[in-house]
Amino acid sequence: MTNRRNFLINTGYAAAGTLIIPSITFKTTKEENLGVQLYTFRKDMAADPIGTLKKIASIGIKQIETAKSGAGHYYGLKPKEMKTICADLGMNLRSGHVHLDKNWQQTLEEAGESGQEYLICSTMPTNGQTVENYKIVAEAFNKAGEDCQKLGLKFGYHNHEYEFEEEQGHVLYDILMDNTDADLVHMELDLGWVIVGGKDPIDYFTRYEGRFPLWHLKDMDMVKKESTEFGKGGLDIVKMLANKEKSGLKYIFIEQEEYAVGPLESMKHNMDFMSKL
């Protein structure tokens, strides 16, 4: 199972344009809450991390979430160096995607040095699409949450679609939700993966209110089955944002793996789209 695959979101966006929603609905979705998952700029970050961060800052991005790369979690930069560069550019190094593995202690130490708030496990630490394995993983997440809490960090998990498979009549993602401590494990919901897994993000916002402070937001081209710029695909972004209070939303990280031209141009479009909501 891979954690960066093309997927199809099978809901319609067209209706969103006709919704009549009071402007206050989006009052707290402010520019300072909008960020980018740096996997969007993966090639650029590998080639020129500092120059790429400058370009990202120039289009109004305020929150940064890293992704593990061939040069480590900070693209060849030292954790403190990454923190300083972002701060100098008016951005916050807010979150980072990591693995819960044998290097966990080093990951914790580096995150502490970076000054980031969230450490997000980006893939299941053990394999097995069973209730038993998901209970084991939930306990590992609780322990990781305790480790993070001791250092002033917040631990979380980023879903894909496979967590929404069922075993023994149970949705496996629900096993994670039901067996993790809400004070220790803060979920980052990838809205696209939820839908491609056959579930509704709003159902999760309702049943597990306040447990999703972080979102991965991406629109999807339903013909090509790949990510696209906001408003060009099938994700009902307006409907998602109308339910952000239930989610407990604090930060949105935009992630886009494919582009019409390039990542910078796509992110300019996405930021403009969000500003008009």
pLDDT digits (tens, 9 = 90+) for 250-263: 999 999 999 989 99
Q: What is the DSSP letter of 197?
A: T
| CA 145 – CA 252 distance, rounded (Å) | 21
Query: Of the given ranges (94-98, 233-237, 243-247), which has the lowest mean pLDDT?
Result: 233-237
* Token pair in block for residue 256: 């886009």
- For residue 205, count CB atoms less than 10 angstroms from its CB and return exposed for 0-12, middle for 13-18, buried for 19 or more: buried
Q: Per residue in 211-230, pLDDT tens?
A: 999 999 988 777 777 888 99
In a domain, 5, yes or no: no
Tell me the pLDDT tens digit for each residue of 102-156: 999 999 999 999 999 999 999 999 999 999 999 999 999 999 999 999 999 999 9
Q: CA angle, 215 as apex, 169 and 175 as ends, to 5°?
A: 20
Percentage, residues of the chain above pLDDT 70: 88
Residue from 255, 4, 220, 251 nearest 123 by CA: 4
Residue 4 lies in a domain: no
Looking at the predicted structure, is the pLDDT value of residue 85 above 60? yes
* Residue 18: inside a domain: no
How confident is the model over 153-166, as pLDDT tens digits? Answer: 999 999 998 999 99
Instruction: Provide mean pLDDT across the span 182-206.
Output: 92
* Mean pLDDT computed over 5-28: 35
pLDDT at 30: 58
Note whether residue 131 is domain-resident.
yes
Structure tokens at 65: 């979430």
DSSP 156-187: EEE--SGGG-EETTEEHHHHHHHHS-TTTEEE
Residue 196 pLDDT greater than 90, yes or no? no
Task: For the chain, give the percent of residues with pLDDT over 90.
Answer: 78
pLDDT given at position 27: 39
What single letter denotes the amino acid at residue 58?
A: S
> Mean pLDDT over all residues of the chain?
89
Taking 70 as the threshold, does the pLDDT of residue 46 lie above it? yes
Is 247 contained in some domain? Answer: yes
User: Binning pLDDT at 50, 70 and 90, where does residue 234 land?
Assistant: confident
Number of domains in the chain: 1
The four Cα atoms 210, 211, 212, 213 give a dihedral, to 10 degrees, of 70
Spell out where the chain has E strands.
34-37, 63-66, 92-98, 118-121, 154-158, 166-167, 170-171, 185-190, 214-217, 219-221, 226-228, 251-254
Q: Give the CATH number for residue 245.
A: 3.20.20.150
In a domain, 13, yes or no: no
180 lies in some domain: yes
Burial of 127 (0-12, 13-18, 19+ CB in 10 A): exposed
d(CA 88, CA 66) in angstroms, rounded, equals 17
Q: What is the pLDDT of residue 1?
A: 40
Range of the domain at 237: 28-275
Q: Let me know: does 225 contact 7? Beta carbons within 8 Å.
A: yes
Is the C-alpha dihedral spanning 7, 11, 16, 17 positive or negative?
Answer: positive
Q: Is 10 part of any domain? A: no
The model's pTM is 0.87
